[in-house]
């Protein structure tokens, strides 16, 4: 292909001809220069891509590596994706929850970066847990347990790896069509007939702005629908953290409480809503509402928690320690206190995420190490009445320096007001194909 012409066309705001994006993706994995790929990424970032172009880019990315045929994991297989946030441990709850009710959930997840956490880091807080499964092991566990949670295999969508690495260093990550194509190429490669997306909006989201979140959700639903998948997207609130725990071990412990029918109301409610959509899309429930009712019952009965322990054991993890709540938690603690009495009006998700990172729970760069036992536990949530001097949060760290750094960040996360704040919804809207 004439790559210079191709870049110039997007620079000038033209729509690419059919087939050109596919050639470009082939060139990207076939050794095209970083500067040419980066130049096109910036042109696409500034000029945008049409729906047809986004669908074509997604398909080309998907086909750059190994794919599983549609329905390979069975007609009841369903995938989920969250755009990520602070305290977002929903996969830890939803994957075993849906599997306990007969859906099949082959889940490939990622690690945390910046102020948002990642499912694999959280699961690795369970001693012995292995996420680096071979494709054969992954398939075997999915067929035996009904679910597995593994790191994305290197041969799944390699072209996205190349493009994403360049986007990361050229300020071209937060483009709706580029994110949509990147996320959906991985969902399509996995071959589940149904996909439910949890697109977060608010300060702790990757895409804080609600309108852009809506556009991203709509773009991903359109791509999946064009490829014959049953799609639903929820626009989830991430102005405050989800649940009370932020940090790897702490989040796993909270997820386990939730799987036993306890845990914070917002987390349990959010997980039930997403599970309801997934169970309905997979044909396990008659409707999303029926799916929510079944999900709530599986949490109450202990069925979902049992499935989690089965999954952890199948992936080499110490299910006994998890069941007993014995995970490493950093031993140094400190608290943030309310400076006046009133109602908790704001618990800023981004500030809490940054505090957790300063405590050692997150990584700045992909190859940084993390402290699995560090993090924050919120003692109150938005809308609670609090008294001056009462603890609002407990911080956990392994060194005094980390504890002080986390404390400095966390102080700015809270606002107390005289009047009770309006209740914010867990989910702003649901977009179905």
Cβ atoms of 251 and 215 within 8 Å: the answer is no
Among 276, 252, 270, residue whose Cα is nearest residue 361: 252
Q: Let me know if 72 is a catalytic residue.
A: no
Backbone dihedral angles phi then psi of residue 413, each to the nearest 5 degrees: -80, -20
Specify the residue, 223 or 376, whose C-beta has the smaller distance to ligand URA: 223
Q: How far apart are CA 130 and CA 91, in angstroms?
A: 16
Specify the residue, 178 or 351, whose C-beta has the smaller distance to ligand URA: 178
The residue annotated as part of the active site, out of 77, 82, 131, 182, is: 182
Residues making up the chain, counted from first to last: 433
Specify the residue, 160 or 237, whose C-beta has the smaller distance to ligand URA: 160
Q: Let me know if 200 is a catalytic residue.
A: no
The residue annotated as part of the active site, out of 76, 89, 186, 307, is: 186
Specify the residue, 178 or 314, whose C-beta has the smaller distance to ligand URA: 178
Instruction: State in angstroms the smallest separation of the CB of 157 from ligand URA.
Output: 9
Q: Let me know if 107 is a catalytic residue.
A: no
The residue annotated as part of the active site, out of 22, 81, 294, 402, is: 81
- Tell the burial category of 70 from Cβ atoms under 10 Å away from its Cβ (0-12, 13-18, 19+): middle
Specify the residue, 182 or 214, whose C-beta has the smaller distance to ligand URA: 182
Q: Let me know if 239 is a catalytic residue.
A: no
Instruction: State in angstroms the smallest separation of the CB of 91 from ligand URA.
Output: 14
Among 426, 362, 433, residue whose Cα is nearest residue 201: 426
Given 179, 245, 299, 322, the residue binding ligand URA (CB under 6 A): 179
Q: Contact region for ligand URA (CB under 6 A) — 178-186, 326-334, 400-408, 412-420? A: 178-186
- Which residues in 63-92 contact ligand URA (CB under 6 A)? none
Q: Contact between 195 and ligand URA (CB under 6 A)?
A: no
Specify the residue, 41 or 347, whose C-beta has the smaller distance to ligand URA: 41
The residue annotated as part of the active site, out of 167, 244, 380, 409, is: 167
Q: Contact between 183 and ligand URA (CB under 6 A)?
A: yes
* Per-position x/- string for 146-175, each x denoting binding to ligand URA as judged by CB under 6 A, each - no binding: ------------------x-----------
Specify the residue, 220 or 312, whose C-beta has the smaller distance to ligand URA: 220
Please give the residue whose beta carbon sits closest to ligand URA in the complex: 182
What is each CA distance from 364 to 112, 247, 360, in whole angstroms?
9, 15, 10
Given 58, 64, 90, 182, the residue binding ligand URA (CB under 6 A): 182
Q: Let me know if 182 is a catalytic residue.
A: yes
Q: Contact between 28 and ligand URA (CB under 6 A)?
A: no
Record the tokens describing residue 222, joined without a space.
Answer: 């359109």
Q: How far apart are CA 295 and CA 303, in angstroms?
A: 10
Could you count the other beta carbons within 10 Å of the beta carbon of residue 110?
14
Q: How many positions of this chain bind ligand URA (CB under 6 A)?
A: 5
Instruction: State in angstroms the smallest separation of the CB of 164 from ligand URA.
Output: 6
Q: Contact region for ligand URA (CB under 6 A) — 93-101, 114-122, 176-184, 399-407? A: 176-184
Q: How far apart are CA 108 and CA 231, in angstroms?
A: 18
- Binding interface with ligand URA (CB under 6 A): 164, 178-179, 182-183
Question: Could you list the active site residues?
Answer: 81, 160, 167, 182, 186
């Amino acid at each position: 292909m004439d790559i210079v012409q191709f870049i110039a066309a997007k620079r000038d705001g033209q729509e690419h001809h059919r087939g050109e994006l596919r050639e470009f993706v082939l060139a990207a994995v076939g050794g095209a220069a970083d500067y040419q790929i980066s130049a096109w990424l910036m042109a696409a970032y500034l000029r945008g891509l049409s729906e047809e172009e986004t669908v074509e880019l997604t398909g080309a990315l998907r086909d750059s590596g190994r794919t599983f045929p549609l329905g390979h994991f069975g007609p009841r297989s369903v995938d989920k994706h969250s755009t990520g946030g602070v305290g977002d441990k929903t996969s830890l709850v939803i994957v075993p929850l849906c599997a306990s009710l007969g859906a099949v959930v082959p889940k490939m997840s990622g690690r945390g970066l910046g102020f948002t956490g990642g499912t694999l880091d959280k699961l690795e807080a369970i001693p012995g847990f292995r996420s680096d499964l071979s494709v054969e092991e992954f398939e075997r566990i999915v067929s035996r347990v009904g679910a597995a949670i593994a790191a994305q295999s290197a041969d799944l969508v390699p072209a996205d790896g190349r493009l994403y690495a360049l986007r990361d260093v050229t300020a071209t990550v937060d483009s709706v069509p580029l994110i949509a194509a990147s996320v959906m190429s991985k969902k399509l490669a996995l071959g589940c007939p149904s996909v439910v997306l949890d697109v977060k909006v608010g300060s702790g989201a990757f895409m804080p702005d609600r309108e852009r979140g809506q556009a991203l959700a709509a773009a991903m639903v359109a791509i999946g629908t064009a490829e014959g998948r049953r799609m639903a997207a929820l626009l989830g609130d991430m102005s405050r953290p989800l649940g009370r725990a932020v940090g790897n071990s702490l989040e796993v412990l909270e997820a386990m409480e939730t799987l036993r029918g306890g845990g914070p109301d917002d987390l349990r409610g959010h997980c039930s809503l997403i599970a309801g959509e997934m169970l309905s899309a997979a044909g396990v429930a008659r409707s999303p509402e029926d799916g929510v009712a079944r999900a709530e019952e599986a949490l109450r009965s202990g069925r979902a928690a049992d499935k989690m322990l089965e999954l952890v054991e199948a992936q080499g993890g110490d299910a006994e320690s998890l069941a007993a709540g014995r995970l490493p938690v950093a031993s140094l603690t400190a608290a943030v206190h309310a400076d006046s009495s009133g109602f908790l009006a704001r618990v800023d998700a981004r500030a809490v995420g940054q505090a957790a990172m300063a405590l050692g729970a997150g990584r700045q760069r992909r190859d940084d190490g993390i402290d699995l036992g560090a993090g924050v536990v919120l003692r109150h949530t938005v809308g609670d009445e609090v008294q001056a001097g009462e603890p609002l949060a407990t911080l956990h760290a392994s060194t005094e320096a980390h504890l002080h750094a986390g404390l400095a960040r966390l102080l700015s996360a809270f606002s107390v007001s005289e009047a009770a704040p309006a209740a914010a919804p867990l989910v702003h809207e649901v977009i179905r194909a």
